[in-house]
Chains A and B, each alone.
Chain A
Amino acid sequence: MSIPTVINAAGRAVMTELNGKPAIPFRGVGKYRPSGNRYGPPIPSCTDFPPDGNKVVTTLEEALLRCGIRDGMTISTHHHLRDGDLISNRIFEIASVMGVRDLVWFPSASFPCNEPVIKYLEDGTINRIEGSMNGPLGRFVSEGRMKGTAVLRSHGGRVQAIQDGEVKIDIAVLVAPSSDSFGNARGTGGNSACGVLGYAKADAMYADKVIVVTDNLVDIPCLPMEIEGNYVDYVVVVDKIGIPEKIVSGTTQITKSPDRLLIAELTAAFLEKSGILKDNVRMQAGAGGTSLAIGVFIHEILRKKGWKSKFGFGGSTRYMVEMLEQGQMEYILDAQVFDLESVESVTRNPKHVSYPVFNAYNYHSKGNLTSMMDIMILGATEVDLNFNGNVVTHSDGYLLHGIGGWQNCLHARNVIIPLPLFRDRIPVIVDEVTTLCGPGELIDVVITERGIAINPLRKDLIESVRNSGLPLTTIEKLKEEAERICGKPSKPVFDEKIVAAIKWVDGTIIDTVRKIKK
């Protein structure tokens, strides 16, 4: 059965119906206007809850049963425990034993540790995943083996979908490193500390039923209350919610690759010479090795000039914490925490605060943080001649990554994508991205080891570095060079069947992913 498609404003063929519900094709950046009111969950009554505030039930099974788990429900989870999460898979194992079918899993991200979920996709317990597809899950979906159509959203898009009522969460299962018996919960303490719980906030507020799962039950009140107990139905105490060494890295490391360091150096030099890097700058970069190196070089420049960054938006790492502690950064606002040094910092430093994605990324809100950022360092699997970016599929057509906050971050003032021109033999600058995740009008600069290409729309930036001595080039020249070195690549061959929809930050569909033809 093939679903009818239309060509959207980005020139991509997308469906008008997604998993049985009408879907809106992408209309252009800032073009789609939402209407109506935010979604609201049913009104609870405190008379249904124990007056002593003790919501502890003995097992996750019991909690799920009490929440009325049944066929077709949407179950949400958050990914703060990253690759060390022991609970998400367990939910579907329980559901499978109960004989529940056609669930929708709505995680804020998935990780390689979620590979066992494939079993429950195969046995019919889960109909589809609406969230990121990593590694083996991406392969499973790309091979057309998932029953429903996957939906990929950015972190902000996920909050938007919840708030707008596009996704109605029936049961949110929220793991918490510490919780009290009322369900007040936080990301620190215990054996499974992850730092902050920002991604779980919208789930707690909008889900019909909320279960907090912890391995560290503390006395009331659990402070700070990142999840407030008023939203919580049940608390489950287990031996272990996660594997600590897989939740946070012992320590994050900057890249040792001389080529990546060269890209990082070039990026820092570009930021300095273009004037983007200045006193009181607001900045965000990821936790990949190259991003971390850029952070270290930026730190050096700030120190040299006697400047400081007003705030950095995390994923925090020890390198950001060093900036904070050495006086080159005034605040860290943090949506997630990547290493032990950062967990330590967010626990004790009042200038290092949890700042949920809810407030940072949601496009349907009264302004958001990303458009206020001066410097945004992002990655991509591919960038094309129109500066369009892809982060979810590889050039061979397979889904391999989630969108994360990437689309939301594109709204920053200066979006810089540092990447190698090719990875092994795989060109990164291509004619046309395999999957469109971000429109080129929002991507300002691509920095490779073989030159810097500035989006022609950014005449101001081109002017600012005209006589800088930086290796400036064009995106076309970069693409030609990649093909000269690697050869002209063939394209993957796809089947008709659509296996995934890529949502834009406003809930419209910007592109689709099709099944790989074997």
Chain B
Amino acid sequence: MDSNCAVTGNSGPRIRSDCRLSLCLKNEGGITFDLKSKVETLYGESIRNLCSEMLGCFGIANAHLEIDDSGALPFVIMARLEAAVKKLTGIRIDFLPDFPEEYKYSTLRDRFRFSRLYLPGNNPSLMINAGLHSADGIILDLEDSVAPVRKDEARLLVRNALRQLDFRGAERMVRINQGERGMDDLDALIPQNVNLVLIPKCENPENVREVAERIRNILAESGLTNPVYLMPIIESALGVELAFDIARADESVVAMAVGLEDLTADMGVRRTREGNETLYARNRIVNAAKAAGIQPIDSVFPDVADMEGLRNNVAVSKALGFEGMGCIHPRQIAVIRQGFAPETDEIEKSKKIVIAYEDALSKGLGVVALGSKMIDPPVVTRALRTIDLAVKLGILEPGWRDESPAEA
């Protein structure tokens, strides 16, 4: 490959919503294009304008740009071109797409984290509609799902995705790489209102503190005050043994996950459906998390076609004390949500308490009573949360109060 040329992105018969872009720097001739696009009629002009504007910002006056476009959205084209320019010039300027205010939301430390959907960090087509599937969290992954040579371009794609995609209230998560590369990931992504960072292959509290420290520095430098939570992933025997220390390593840790694929590899055992080989590890992680006051989160279920297997897996997971698990396909989300959702009798009881509470409020009473029984404030809080959750999960109609109370 010519050292004046750089190639980024993807094309091919199965690739959608992406582009393969090849940028060659020249000494003369201005900016020339060779654009092959399935949306040439609708957006050919706008693609050429966008690229010209970007090259101008990067101070490039002469170059040939070849784009093979399968309908990439502007933020994708921008990431691909910026990655190519950076490969060739090492320039430090960023070309950032708009960042609507409504995407800059924060999340709560103790929010539900039943389902978190993994998205490979260099695959735009899976990202675009990810926010529609009602996952509690969406993880843009820079670690295992991205090939080593694609790490830099994926980071820019994820950065742009965080600024441009509507995740509809899902917790905005990223899984960073290990080591120094992970620190670079943080530099690029923390200013994009990341709600939670997953730390892969976490083996000791130092890993956590290093990440937390770096995040605090980035936030301070950028003048940002939003909370950024941490979720270390335990994926080794050593990590399991140090789980409690990891869970307490920093106040920003809100959850701790287990990664069974790597853990079984580290232990030299085969991962089975029953999972007896990791029972100790899972018990230990649940216990450590509960002792530290954070949420224990289970590993992903790898067979996306086996919904029955997933359902059983969730039941076991919930019984062990886990409070959520990862998903690798949107269709898994509903099954996981149902599995972790409050049960019918719990909802019925909560409905009564909430009605009594609202009744007391409207009458200006300071004390909530159900029949002759007084209800303590934490019980009301839990009931409100259960109802809120049941509505959010779609198992209770938002207008449940209007339905006949059917009370004796």
Contacts and interface: CB of A to CB of B under 8 A. Distances in A.
A467 B397 CA distance: 9
Given A449-B132, A469-B397, A486-B73, A258 B43 contact: no
B239 interface: no
B397 A425 contact: no
Contacts of A423: 71
A397 B39 CA distance: 12
B16 A259 contact: no
Interface stretch (A172-180, A211-219, A323-331, A487-495): A487-495
Contact of B46 (A395, A426, A469, A490): A490
A50 to B, nearest CB: 55
A485 B76 CA distance: 12
Nearest to A481: B166
A258 B331 CA distance: 6
> Main SS of the interface on chain B?
loop
A261 interface: yes
A491 to B, nearest CB: 8
B132 A487 contact: no
B115 interface: no
B51 to A, nearest CB: 14
B216 interface: no
A385 interface: no
Interface string B322-338: 00000001110000000
Contact of A487 (B74, B128, B331, B399): B74
Contacts of A424: 16-17, 38-39, 70-71
A139 interface: no
Interface in B352-408: 394, 397-399, 402
Contacts of A487: 43, 46, 74
Interface in A161-184: none
Contacts of B74: 487
A262 B402 CA distance: 28
A262 B39 contact: no
A223 to B, nearest CB: 44
A425 B41 contact: no
A206 to B, nearest CB: 40
Given A424-B17, A425-B71, A425-B72, A259 B42 contact: no
B73 A492 contact: no
A450 interface: yes
Nearest to B17: A424
A123 interface: no
B255 to A, nearest CB: 25
Interface residues of A, number: 21
Contact of B45 (A396, A450, A469, A490): A490
B132 A259 contact: yes
Given A262-B133, A450-B132, A485 B73 contact: yes
Interface string A469-494: 10000000000000001110110100
B39 A258 contact: no
A428 B384 CA distance: 41
B129 interface: yes
Contacts of B38: 424
B53 to A, nearest CB: 14
Contacts of A485: 73, 128
Interface string B40-56: 11111110000000000
A397 B41 contact: yes
Contacts of B17: 424-425
A453 to B, nearest CB: 16
A395 to B, nearest CB: 6
Given A258-B133, A487-B74, A425 B42 contact: yes
A396 B41 contact: yes
B366 to A, nearest CB: 33
Contacts of B42: 395-396, 425-426, 489-490
Interface string B64-85: 0000001111100000000000
Interface in B117-137: 128-129, 132-133
Contacts of B132: 259, 262, 449-450
Given A395-B42, A396-B41, A425-B42, A258 B397 contact: no
Interface of B: 16-17, 38-46, 70-74, 128-129, 132-133, 329-331, 394, 397-399, 402
Q: Name the 3 nearest CB pairs between A and B, nearest first.
A: A424-B71, A258-B330, A489-B42
22 contacts: A258-B129, A259-B132, A262-B129, A262-B133, A396-B39, A423-B71, A424-B38, A424-B71, A425-B39, A425-B42, A425-B43, A425-B72, A426-B39, A449-B132, A469-B394, A469-B397, A469-B398, A485-B128, A487-B74, A489-B39, A489-B42, A489-B43
Given A424-B39, A490-B44, 4 more contacts: A397-B41, A425-B43, A449-B132, A469-B397
